[in-house]
Amino acid sequence: MKMSGLLNRRSNDLAGVVGAVRQVPAGAPAPKRLGGKDVVVLDLNRTSAATARALVDAEVAAVVHVARPGEEMLPRAAFRILAGSTVPVIEDADLSGVADGTRVRIDEGVVYAVKTDEELATGREAGSADLLAEVDAAESSYVESALAHLANSTEFLSIEHQLLLDGEGLPEIDVDFVDRHVVVVTGSESSKEQLADLKPFIREYRPVLVGVDGGADLLRAAKLTADLVVATPTAVSDEVLTDGAVLVVPADRDGRAEGLERISELGIGATTFPAAATARDMALLLAYHGGAEMIVATGEARGLENAFGASSSPSSTMVDTTVASRLVHAEACATLYRSRGAGIGLALVVLAALIAVAVVVLMRDSAQDLLVWAVESWNSFALWVQGLIR
């Protein structure tokens, strides 16, 4: 008997379920052609009811729930749908780094590689009763967190409503935001990649660049010069502080600010911004009340999944609402710009084709015929390009 036959026989004789890993990105629909030989790895906190039903209908071998680090369970319908099915659900087994197609065996919550029988992750199988109890508890916790967060946001509004509505208390700074595009770069983990995606947009529009805390160092690392830095001096490098950008230091409402000693040691100037808001929110308010046409912000997108968590600031809820008419998330901006860029590229290809046809017509017909054709073609082309850019 061949060795491959022995291996297959051995994997089939061992306890548990066997299948090939299928990684599903957060929020993505269920892949096509799922079946009983697939072990689907996803974040059920960001899985729609439609995707969960597709997994059940496909009778996949198992579902491995990999939540974001430190994130609590959200009361998503996907948990209830899977709880009402026969599909095994494995929790706390991190298979996010396991490649698509890897054959695994899952037995009592422990995940093994079929090829080597190496233990890849240890979790636990959540039965239907466990899942239902967990999602009920998650629902109560979620609502309680939302009520507490909204109460804190309302308190912030009562304190800072003049700042939010009219910009009262904003420091005067030498940065011209009027009718400009603004890119606010935060120090979050996702900002570095988002900033790289925004490079073409930045090259064309030359927006005002604002670095917030660690985001100022990200701008510098990307060889971009910040126009404004809103940061606690101890949160950024000396190079950022001395690059020549306008520096705004967040302060408490009583005027106390951390790290001013460092400013004095470096011999540079800075303006304090006393407010009960985060540095990121201060940057957004400066741009908004300064007359910015559009504000692009990097960092994690705010949605119901993370709106009331420990990482969400009550001030951000109110500030985002204040600037909502001009605020665009970096990922959305990069996506729209890529689509626009593709349209313009196509337009240039069409223009080249028109020129080529013009040469042919010139060789064959009279100059007058060519002129009439060229005017008509150019008008049609111009209208088409305008439609792409709008």
Residue 162 lies in a domain: no
Residue type, 316: S
The tokens for 342 are: 């593709």
pLDDT band with cut points at 50, 70 and 90 for residue 16: confident
Residue 189 pLDDT > 70, yes or no?
Answer: yes
Q: Could you tell me if residue 137 is inside a domain?
A: no
Domain stops at, among 95, 126, 157 = 126
Rounded to an integer, what distance in angstroms lies between the CA atom of residue 243 and that of residue 51?
Answer: 49
> Do 241 and 370 belong together in one domain?
no
Domain boundary among 126, 155, 183: 126
Q: Are residues 194 and 114 in the same domain?
A: no
Instruction: Say whether both 366 and 307 belong to one domain.
Output: no
User: Rounded to the nearest 5°, which phi and psi values hold at 90?
Assistant: -105, 125
- 320 SS3 class: helix
pLDDT grade for 369, boundaries at 50, 70 and 90: low
E-assigned strands of 62-102?
62-65, 89-91
Cα dihedral across residues 362, 368, 372, 374: positive or negative:
positive
pTM for the whole structure: 0.78
Q: Are residues 173 and 220 in the same domain?
A: yes
Residue percentage of the chain with pLDDT more than 90 = 73
Mean pLDDT of 36-64: 96
Give the number of other CB atoms < 10 A from CB of residue 4. 8
The residue type at 59: E
Is residue 230 within 8 Å of 250, Cβ to Cβ?
A: yes
Per-residue confidence (pLDDT) for residue 120, from 0 to 100: 95
Question: Which pLDDT band holds residue 6 (cuts at 50, 70, 90)?
Answer: very low
Residues 217 and 180 in one domain: yes
Residues 238 and 313 in one domain: yes
Domain presence at residue 163: no
Decide if pLDDT at 360 tops 60.
no
Tokens of 304: 């119901």
145 assigned to some structural domain = no
pLDDT value, residue 371: 58
50: containing domain:
3-126
Phi, then psi, of 28 in degrees rounded to 5: -80, 155
In this structure, are 117 and 173 located in the same domain?
A: no
* Within a domain: 222: yes
Q: 270 and 213 in one domain? A: yes
Please give the average per-residue pLDDT across 372-390, as a whole number.
56
Q: The CATH number of the domain where 76 resides is what?
A: 3.20.19.10
* 319 lies in the same domain as 184: yes
SS3 content of the chain, % helix, strand, coil (to 5): 45, 15, 35
Lowest-pLDDT choice from 85-89, 206-210, 272-276, 311-315 = 311-315
What are the angstrom distances between the C-alpha of 300 and each of 43, 188, 215, 305?
16, 7, 13, 11
Write out pLDDT tens, residues 272-321: 999 999 999 999 999 999 999 999 999 988 888 888 887 789 999 999 99
Q: In the prediction, which pLDDT does 5 show? A: 38
Say how many domains are in the chain: 3
Residues 6+ apart with CB under 8 A from 154: none
Question: Given 275, 295, 325, which residue is the final one in a domain?
Answer: 325
Written as six digits, the tokens of 357 are 């046809």
In single-letter form, the type of residue at position 356 comes to A
Element (H, E) at 280: helix 279-289
Tell me whether residue 160 is in a domain: no
For 36, phi then psi, to 5°, come to -70, -5
Answer yes or no: do 281 and 314 share one domain: yes
Q: Is residue 238 part of a domain?
A: yes
CA-CA distance, 49 to 29, in Å (whole number)?
10
CATH number reported for the structural domain that contains residue 190 in this entry = 3.40.50
Phi-psi region of 27 (alpha: psi -120 to 50; beta: other; left: phi over 0): left
Cα separation of 85 and 271, whole Å?
60
Strands 294-297 and 327-329: parallel
Residue 348 domain-assigned (yes or no): yes
Assess whether 201 and 293 both reside in one domain: yes
- Give the E-state strand segments of 35-102 in sequence order: 38-42, 62-65, 89-91
In the predicted model, what is the mean pLDDT of the chain?
87
Q: Which residues pair with 143 in a beta bridge?
A: none
Are 300 and 383 within one domain?
A: no
CA nearest to 262, candidates 280, 241, 283: 241
